[in-house]
Structure 1
Amino acid sequence: MALGSGCLRAGRGLLRAAGPRSLPARGRCAGGRPPAFGFLFDVDGVLVRGSQAVPAARRAFQRLSDGGGRLRVPVVFLTNAGNCLRSAKAQELSQALGLQPPPTTGFPTIEGVILFGEPVRWETSLQLIIDVLLSNGNPGAELQDIPYPHLPVLACNMDLLWMAEAKMPRFGHGTFLLCLENIYKKVTGRELKYEALIGKPSTVTYRYAEYLIQQQAEKQGWKSPIRRLYAVGDNPMSDVYGANLYNNYLKSAHQSQVQAGVKRSPQAASPQTEDHLQLRKDCNNSVESCESILVCTGVYRHNADVPSKTKEFTTETVFHGHRDFCFDPSLVEASYIVQDVNDAVQLAFKKENWS
C-alpha cells in the first residue's frame, strides 16, 4: 500500500491513492534548487511501534517540513499493513505523527480472494478461504470435484514478521500465507497459485510509489525531475529487498529504454501484474535510483555502534521472503544502516546537499 503525502496529508489505497489537495510551500536547499529526491517510508518499526510513535519519527518530520508544517520534499508512506480501513489507518498514523488527517478513497473490487492482512482468528479465516477455493466460490455447496486452477488469489502483504510494541517480532501476513499455502497443498496435493503479489517487495508497488512522488513534484510546480528515491525500512526481507529489487529494475528499465523503448525488465521470480508498464507510461520515468536505508528500531537490530555514512551488510542466512521470490543475498544488503528514521533523513539530506 502506498500513501502519498503532501502538506502533511496522505492519500491511501491498494495501488490507488489520492494526491494532496493543497500545495505545500516549495522546499529549497542552500543552492535554491527544488528537491531532486523523495522518501519512501515504511510505517511499522520505522515511524510507529504499535500505537506509539517512534520518538525519532517526529524529529524526522520536523526536518522534512517547513515552519508552517508543510513538507519540503515529496514523501510516500509505503506499508504492507492493510488489515483495516484506509481511513482508520490514515487517522492512526496522523495522530501518531501529528499529521493532518488525510483524504481517502475506496478500494477497487475484483472477483476472487483478496488477502489484505493477518486476521484475528486465523483458524476461522483459513477455513473460510479454503472453503471458497475448494467450492469455486460457492462455500455453501457440498464438496465435489476440486477446481484447478482455483479462483484468483491476490495477496497484498508478504511480511513474515513485523514489529509492534512487543520486544520480539510478531507474526505477519506472510506467516498467514504460509499456513494457507501448506493447508491447501495438504488438502489438494497441488500448489496454491497467486494471481499477483502486491506490496513490498513487489516492484509494482514501488513503481506506483514513484508515480505518487512524481505527482507531488508536478503539483508543486517543480521543474527539476525527481532523480533519486530513499526507501527507509526496518525489515531486510521486505523493505531492503524491495528497494534493491526496484533499484535493479530502474537500471534495467533505463537500459531497455535506450535500446528499444519500454520493456519489461528481468526480475526475481514472482507473479506480477502488468500495471507497472502502464505506470511507466503515466509518468516521466526520471527516477534513476532507489537506495535502501535500514533502521534499527524494528525487525532489524544492530548491537554495535552503527555508522550512518558507509555501506554495511546484513548477515541474513534464513530467507523470510515469500516462496515465489528468489533469495539473492545481495538484495538484503542495505545501502546504508542507521539507528532511526531521523538519522535516515539526515543522511539523505547530506547526500543531497539539502538544508
Structure 2
Amino acid sequence: MTPSIDTCAEQLGHHHYSTAASSEGMPSFAFAFDIDGVLLRSSVPIPGAAEALALLHDNNIPFILLTNGGGKHESARVLELSKKLGVPLTEDNFVQSHTPFKQLVEGSDTIESLKHKTILVTGGDGDKCRKVAEMYGFETVVTPGDILMEYPTIWPFNQIFSDYYRETTRPLPRPVDLANPSESLRFDAVFVFNDPRDWALDSQIILDLLLSKEGILGTYSEKNGDTSLPNNGWQQDGQPKLFFSNPDLFWATSYHMPRLGQGGFQASLQGVWDATTGGSKLERTVIGKPFPDTYKYAERVLNEHRQQMLGGTGEVKKPVSQLKRVFMVGDNPESDIRGANEYDSHHGTDWTSVLVKTGVFRSGSVPAYKPKVIVDDVLAAVKWALKEEGWHIDS
C-alpha cells in the first residue's frame, strides 16, 4: 500500500514553508527531477531524496519526474518509485523517455497515425517494451527476437541469445515472402524504446530495414547509392522512420563510473551507417532530454498536473496562477542542464538548471553546460530553490 502524504511527513518530520509571494500560498514555481543519479542510483534511493519529495508534497508544491530512463510502462514505474521513495506518485507527474511516443499512435502534424501499422520495437528487458508500446495503443509490434526466432540465419551468431529470446518471442504477423513482396512483412517505423541489450542483432535488423525497399524485410532498395537522388538515394525509398527515445551517452549505475547508455548504441549505429553509406546522412528522430520537444511535452504535463493539484478536480475549481519558474534538477550536464538552459518556453516559464553531484557529473570537473548552481544532492537543490523563491520554514 502506498503511504499517504501525512504518513511520509510523520516519518520524515513536518516542514512547512510559507512565502509572501502569494497571499493564498499558491507557488508560482515547480520542480522537474531526473531520476537516475538524482533520486536513485541503481534502484537504491540516494540519501535525502525521499525527504526532498516529501517536503514538496507537504507544502503542496508541484513537481514532475522527467527521466531519460524507461523500459516499463509508466504505471509500473510510478508504483515502484512510490515504494522506494516513500511518497505517492502517479502517471500525472511522471514523464519517461518514451512517454511522448504515445502521441504517434494517433499521429501528429508531420507523421501519420501508426496505430494500425507494423512497428519494430527494440530495447529493454525481454519484451517489456513491446508490452509498453501495446499499452500505448500500437496494435502490431514486432521485436528483433521475433524475427531471429523465425529466421535464425538473419544473424549468424543467433545461438548466443536464443534461450533468452525464446521466452518472450511471438510469431510474426506476416511471413517474409520475397517472391510476393506485397504480402511480405513490412515495417512502417522503428522505435528504440530503451537501451538495447543485444546491440549486434538490433543493429543488423535496423540497418536491414534502413536499406530495404519500402520497409520490406529482406529487400534492398535499388535507390541506395544513387547520386542523382537526395542523400545519394539512402532512405529515399519508403524505408521506416527511425525513432530514438533518448540520446544519453552515459548514465549512472551502481558501478563507480558512468556506463554507456542508449546514446552509445546510437553512436555505434551511426558508425555502421557511415561505413555502409560513405557518410550519408542518417535520418532519424531523437527525443528525450535535452531536446526541446521533450521539455515542451514535460511542461504541458506539469501544467496539467499543477492545475489538478492546486485548482482541484471538483466542479468548482480555484483559479491557478501562471507557472513562472521550473527548477530542473539533474546530474547530467549534457541532457538535464543543457535542455533546461536551451529550452524556450512559449508560455513565459523560466527553466532554471540545478546540477547535483550524485550521478554522472564528477565533482571538480567543469560541466560542458553550465548550470545556475551546483549543489551536493537533491535535498540541497530543493532547499536552495525554496530559498530562491523566498519560501522559509515556519518555526
Q: TM-score, normalised by structure 2?
A: 0.62
1:152 aligns with 2:241: yes
Q: Secondary structure at the match of 2:217?
A: coil
CA displacement 1:214-273 (0-9 Å, x = unmatched): 222322225321101100000011111111011xx24xxxxxxxxxxxxxxxxxxxxxxx
Distance in structure 2 (CA, Å) of the matches to 1:103 and 1:214: 14
What is the match of residue 315 of structure 1?
A: 366
> Pick from 173, 192, 198: which aligns with 1:121?
198
Determine the structure 2 residue equivalent to 1:298. 359
Shift of 1:188: 2.1
> Hey, what's the Cα distance between the residues in 1 that align with 2:89 and 2:297?
22
- Are 1:59 and 2:51 an aligned pair? yes
Name the CA shift for 1:101/1:351 in 2 (closer, same or farther; >3 Å): closer
Answer whether contact 2:332 2:361 (CA < 8 A) is retained: yes
1:340 aligns with 2:340: no
Cα distance 1:82–1:351, how it changes in 2: closer, same or farther (>3 A)?
Answer: same
SS of the equivalent of 1:232 reads strand
Match of 1:233 among 330, 339, 344: 330
Q: Tell me if 1:48 matches 2:40.
A: yes
Q: Distance in 1 between matches of 2:30 and 2:333?
A: 20
Aligned residue in 2 for 1:92: 80
The Cα offsets for residues 110-155 of structure 1, whole Å up to 9 and x where unpaired, read as: 3311222211111111111111111142223467553523432122
Q: Deviations over 1:27-81 (max 9, x none)?
A: 9724343101010111110011111111211110121122xxxx61111111111
Matched, 1:353 2:342: no
CA distance in 1, matches of 2:31, 2:192: 27
How far apart are residue 100 of structure 1 and its match? 3.2
Alignment of 1:1-355 (within 5 A): 29-31=18-20, 32=23, 33-66=25-58, 72-100=60-88, 102-103=90-91, 107=102, 108-109=104-105, 110=114, 111-135=188-212, 136-141=214-219, 145-146=223-224, 147-149=234-236, 150-219=239-308, 220-221=310-311, 222-246=319-343, 249-250=344-345, 280=346, 285-287=347-349, 289-303=350-364, 315-316=366-367, 332-355=369-392
Indicate if the aligned counterparts of 1:181 and 1:192 stay in contact, CA closer than 8 A.
no
SS in 1 for 2:379: helix
Contact kept, 8 Å, 1:40 with 1:229, in 2: the verdict is yes
Over 4 Å off, 4+ runs: 103-106, 142-145
Compute the RMSD of aligned alpha carbons.
2.5
Sequence identity (%)? 35
Change (3 A) 1:192 1:153: farther
SS at match of 1:229: strand
Equivalent position amino acid for 1:74 in 2 = P
Query: What is the identity, as a one-letter code, of the residue corresponding to 2:352?
Result: E
Unaligned runs of 5+ in 2: 6-15, 93-98, 106-113, 115-187, 225-233, 312-318
Contact preservation (8 Å) 1:57, 1:342: yes
Unaligned runs of 5+ in 1: 1-6, 9-26, 251-279, 304-313, 317-328
Against the structure 1 CA distance between its residues 226 and 184, is the aligned structure 2 distance closer, same or farther, given a 3 Å change threshold?
A: same
How big is the shift at 1:179? Answer: 0.4
For the residue of structure 2 that corresponds to 1:130, the secondary structure is helix
- Contact 1:45 / 1:299 at 8 angstroms: preserved in 2? yes
Structure-2 separation of matches of 1:191 and 1:53? 44
Moved more, 209-218 or 46-55: 209-218
The answer on whether the counterparts of 1:83 and 1:119 sit within 8 Å (CA) in structure 2 is no
Q: Is the 8 A contact 1:60 1:341 kept in 2?
A: yes
Q: Secondary structure at the match of 2:76?
A: helix
Name the larger-Rg structure. 2
Q: Structure 1 residues 239, 103: CA separation in 2 closer, same or farther (over 3 Å shift)?
A: closer
- Paired AA for residue 360 in structure 2: V
Q: Distance in 1 between matches of 2:73 and 2:218?
A: 28
1:28–1:34 contact (8 Å) kept in structure 2: no
Relative distance call for 1:208 and 1:103 in structure 2 (3 A) is closer
